[in-house]
Amino acid sequence: MSEKKKFTLEYAIRSSPRILFSFISEPNGLAQWFADDVTFNDQTYTFSWDGEVQKAKLLSLKENKLVKFKWIDDEPHCFFEMEIVQDELTNDVALAVTDFATEETIQERKQIWDNQIDYLVSVLGA
């Protein structure tokens, strides 16, 4: 089995960091675009899609800036992170997504993120 490697994607999003942050950090925000249902208990997020459940531990959270998770059943070095990046000159907002995938699954993972973020943008009305 090949080792998972880190990759980062960046998406321009017309939204304020504060609003965007609620969609990447709060269970009810995440449930609007990332998963069908999201609950948070004891530093652990439980995500469900079509009856399939996955748990992720919250590794770090920076207000209006960043949220970092680790899938409980994933390899030790793996995590996924969503960081809000704001350009100091233009104030343009982007969402940088960092995730891990094997060579075989990286295109598929990127496609999933592209789809999810498209959905997020439509929910935000951005």
Q: Is the dihedral of CA 5, 26, 61, 41 positive or negative?
A: negative
**pLDDT for 1 beyond 70:** no
CATH number of the domain encompassing residue 77: 3.30.530.20
Q: Which residues pair with 83 in a beta bridge?
A: 66, 96
Average pLDDT, integer, range 46-59: 95
**pLDDT for 124 beyond 90:** yes
Residue at 48 is within a domain: no
Average pLDDT, integer, range 65-93: 95
Residues of the domain holding 66? 5-26+62-124
Residue at 109 is within a domain: yes
Q: How confident is the model at residue 126 (pLDDT cuts 50, 70, 90)?
A: low
**pLDDT for 80 beyond 70:** yes
Average pLDDT, integer, range 6-10: 98
Name which of 6, 2, 3 is nearest 110 in CA terms: 6
Residue at 22 is within a domain: yes
Q: Which residues contact 100 (CB under 8 A, 6 or more apart)?
A: 4, 5, 6, 7, 74, 75, 77, 78, 79, 80
Residue at 43 is within a domain: no
Tokens read off for 112: 């999933």
- Specify whether the CB–CB gap between 67 and 58 falls below 8 A: yes
Total domain count, the chain: 1
Residue at 108 is within a domain: yes
Question: Among 21-25, 58-62, 72-76, which stretch is predicted with the lowest mean pLDDT?
Answer: 72-76
Residue at 34 is within a domain: no
Residue at 73 is within a domain: yes
Residue at 71 is within a domain: yes
